[in-house]
């Protein structure tokens, strides 16, 4: 394959929301689900998020457990997977936590319409990859990551990037932790936002497993392609 194995890992409320209508982060996962997420991060070659998530949550995207970090080191890897931000207009703040915390390569993926001055500032902190005219071309980006030796890519949202990756046919598996809460709100981000499929385009999934974790359920899906 000319792209990595790509999976999305997300936590959503029982009504499918990723955060509140004000884009405020909500603790959906419990301790065990955060541990599972840390293990997925530790096993991945790279973690990807959208700029919306960086601006809303300021995540560090680092591996948290000292044992997992040490195991990565022992196998000749960096403590953290490569951290990738999909950021068409180069809006990533230079003081974002992905730059401040942890070691390892950072990649900011921008489009050809991003301002040169903003790119220059980011180039001091990260490798900047340019694809697409106004919006990052996600297929081209995935191919470039594969060329760099990234074989497993973990996507951690948000709603718009999930849509972009799924609608471009770039996702192999989806892991959703469904928590025991309702967030509500028609403008609150859901697992996949974006423009949405028409009936003829709807994406089919195959259930790999359903597992109760603490007070929620972890659903693992394989992406099958168009249902019709």
Ligand X SMILES: NC(=O)c1ccc[n+]([C@@H]2O[C@H](COP(=O)([O-])OP(=O)(O)OC[C@H]3O[C@@H](n4cnc5c(N)ncnc54)[C@H](O)[C@@H]3O)[C@@H](O)[C@H]2O)c1
Q: Which residues bind ligand X (CB under 6 A)?
A: 10-11, 18-19, 23, 25, 28, 49-53, 56-57, 86-88, 135-136, 138, 156-161, 164, 189, 193
Distance CA 86, CA 175 (A): 20
Tokens of 18: 């990723």
Burial class (CB in 10 A: 0-12, 13-18, 19+), 103: exposed
List 13, 29, 137, 190, residue binding ligand HJL (CB under 6 A): 29
Mode of pairing for the β-strands spanning 106-110 and 82-86: parallel
Does 11 contact ligand HJL by CB under 6 A?
Answer: yes
With residue 73 as reference, give the H or E element that holds it: helix 66-74
Element (H, E) at 50: strand 46-50
Kindly write out the interface string for residues 136-165 of this chain, putting x where it contacts ligand HJL by CB under 6 A and - elsewhere.
--------------------x---------
Q: For residue 64, how many other CB atoms are within 10 A of its CB? A: 14
Q: Is 61 in the site for ligand HJL (CB under 6 A)?
A: yes
Binding partner at 50 among ligand HJL, ligand X, none, C-beta below 5 to 8 Å by kind: ligand X
The nearer residue to ligand X, 40 or 159, going by C-beta atoms, is 159
Do you know the residue count of the chain?
228
Out of ligand X, ligand HJL, none, which partner does residue 164 contact, by CB within 5 to 8 A per kind? ligand X
Contacts with ligand HJL, residue ranges (CB under 6 A):
11, 25-29, 37, 53, 57, 59-62, 156
């Amino acid at each position: 394959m000319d792209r990595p194995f790509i999976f999305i890992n997300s936590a959503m409320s029982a009504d499918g929301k990723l955060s509140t209508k004000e884009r405020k982060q909500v603790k959906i996962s419990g301790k065990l689900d955060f541990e599972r997420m840390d293990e997925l991060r530790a096993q991945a070659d790279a973690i990807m998020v959208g700029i919306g998530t960086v601006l809303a949550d300021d995540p560090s995207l680092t591996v948290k457990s000292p044992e997992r970090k040490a195991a990565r080191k022992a196998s000749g890897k960096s403590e953290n997977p490569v951290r990738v931000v999909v950021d068409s207009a180069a809006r990533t703040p230079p003081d974002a936590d992905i730059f401040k915390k942890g070691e390892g390569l950072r990649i900011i993926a921008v489009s050809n319409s991003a301002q040169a001055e903003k790119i220059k500032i980011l180039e001091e902190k990260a490798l900047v990859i340019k694809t697409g005219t106004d919006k990052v071309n996600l297929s081209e980006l995935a191919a470039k990551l594969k060329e760099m030796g990234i074989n497993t890519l973990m996507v951690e949202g948000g709603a718009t990037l999930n849509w972009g990756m799924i609608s471009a046919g770039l996702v192999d598996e989806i892991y959703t932790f469904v928590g025991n809460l309702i967030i509500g709100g028609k403008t609150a981000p859901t697992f996949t936002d974006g423009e949405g499929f028409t009936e003829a385009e709807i994406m089919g999934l195959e259930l790999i497993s359903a597992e109760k974790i603490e007070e929620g359920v972890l659903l693992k899906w394989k992406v099958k392609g168009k249902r019709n």
